[in-house]
Structure 1
């Protein structure tokens, strides 16, 4: 059984039908276009999805391959895999834990749903679609009886402050609500909580290669 959710959400001055579902092979070309729109330079183009990666997503862990449609048009996607995470040893890179996005290391017996990627087309970013996709992944965590959802969030606002602030001070200011970061602040609004700062997580000029590892714990499980 796949995932399917239908909602009616506000889209500018009108109401739109929104569907969240598992993506499939016929969606691949449009999903790659969404990556291009969502992650423009200086984000490296080689980090956008390719068809081999997407095929692995839908065959190795289709439950972790979600997309969102607005009035029948693809507007974004979110991808995850299962890993066996030890919170006492949180250090890792994006390439290591996601197998460079190919998720061949997906562990069907893992305790954690790890977010590989989330992106929303810029034209749809005022509809809270990213938040609804995140909520759908939380539901997947509960449905599968996992411990948590986990992921490393980019810190694309850091480059503006890097000369004057350490990464620790920047993250503390964002978490305390004193500053806003395009990704970390969004994840906080989605209910994610910080775990640790990870250096050399992903080649990302804006974030100075840092990421903030953040989790959402399954409220039905004591960890």
Structure 2
């Protein structure tokens, strides 16, 4: 597997978090760079939640300056999800057990095996950091997630395949570069269709919770801006950001 041209590769023995390291390095990088840590001491998930990252699991961040406005930049969560799906499918041969959960999780056998976090280390308009965490060897216990959330799983427990962080990094970087090229060349349409083809629970009733409200409805699609589209008793609703519960 070849490393994609134009992307830097940095593997660290230990760091507080790869997104924090991306923030420190962002202004010094000449181009896109992947930062992978074999151990994190202060990993974070969405909304500042702690992310369990024992040795052997995967943690990496891609930091770069994508073109486009904030809406277009945010679509990289779909690019990253597709890339991670492809990387895990190729390494485990368990494609049939993988699916994607809006807005930015990868599921394996119905459990959460990976999460993706997009941040602007220097604020909007600056470099984008795409953090990726994968439970390769171990997953947190069900008590570590909020009630009703998808239970965590690991690649090793579900597939019997032991993957190395460096091997996952190489596969992910290659897949990401391929999908990023497609987004830049052809727009979001093909990315959206590919994501929907791998999405979990399309056509089923799900719950979307924001900090202010809860919406329950049938998961119809994802629109051209990446919003979740639900069919509810009050009509069709588009949701830009939420936690989804099955």
Tell me if TM exceeds 0.5: no
> Which TM-score applies when normalising by structure 2?
0.30
